[in-house]
Structure 1
């Protein structure tokens, strides 16, 4: 089984459209490993391989239950514990969105959280998905001091709710 292809299928089922494959998630985004395997027509070993070796640490597998850790476009929030962010994080976007973001701030849009990166290079890669990439520097220390809650999605992804423009500046 192609790990990347299966990860994309798991992402769609666990983050965006579980009903499309007949999957039901609980309020915290969990389903049984067996239900996911049936829905996708794959083995538990295949899914476990994606969880264990996936480059983005998108999934949690605990006691034969699985969920996507972040990136959901479904209602509700996956409960990840708050964590102290590094002083500075980065957000990649397309050049066309910069003026609006600097005026209105960052908003989750169709996702549950705003996604941030500790790496400027990773943020630039994300921004390239939206046209000419622009990286915004996020003053995470000041935002956290003012009450913003940050969660660690994985080593490359930090999550938070909306951020006001005062915490953002072009890099």
Structure 2
């Protein structure tokens, strides 16, 4: 099965330069993201004929006329053109009273019994509004379920929140009793 590398390159650029929160990516201070995290995000959408692997990323970098991305160790970043308001930092903070998370119909039963877990990522990503939660959720389900997180209940049950950027808050987990 072949992959349209031009389209894949554009999606990677969009994810790394402009909307990492849509892909639930966590850029470090230098703009890098773990390759494993990027591959997981790309493959979750199911929009490609086969799973994207690191060799596909390497092929895009090697064959591109313009050097747009680089891989260093087990991380990848866009080299320029960022419009991200700020890099995701892990600074503790007090979140808004309600945050949102878009999820799949398939995952809802598990989430409601076990809570929200970071899965393949370092943190659970929560949105400040339903529009962003819907946008993120649509990457995995055409009709995502939007969860409301009662942050005061979450804090009481041990959740620590971190400032992501103006659209995203991060946390280690959210217990089920703080979700509706």
Is this a same-fold pair by TM over 0.5? yes
SS of match in other structure, 1:86: coil
**Aligned-residue RMSD, C-alpha:** 3.2
SS of match in other structure, 1:124: helix
Unaligned 5+ runs, structure 2: 1-8, 26-30, 37-53, 59-69
SS of match in other structure, 1:154: coil
Equivalent runs, 1:1-171 vs 2, <5 Å: 6-8=13-15, 14-17=32-35, 21-24=70-73, 47=80, 49-50=81-82, 54=83, 56-57=84-85, 59=87, 69=88, 80-131=90-141, 132-169=143-180
Unaligned 5+ runs, structure 1: 60-68, 70-78
The answer as to whether partners of 1:86 and 1:141 remain within 8 angstroms in 2 is: no
- With normalisation by structure 1, the TM-score equals 0.62
The answer as to whether partners of 1:94 and 1:129 remain within 8 angstroms in 2 is: no
Distance in 2 (CA, whole Å) between partners of 1:83 and 1:9 is: 24
Count, aligned residues: 129
Distance in 2 (CA, whole Å) between partners of 1:14 and 1:141 is: 32
SS of match in other structure, 2:32: helix
Distance in 1 (CA, whole Å) between partners of 2:15 and 2:109 is: 32
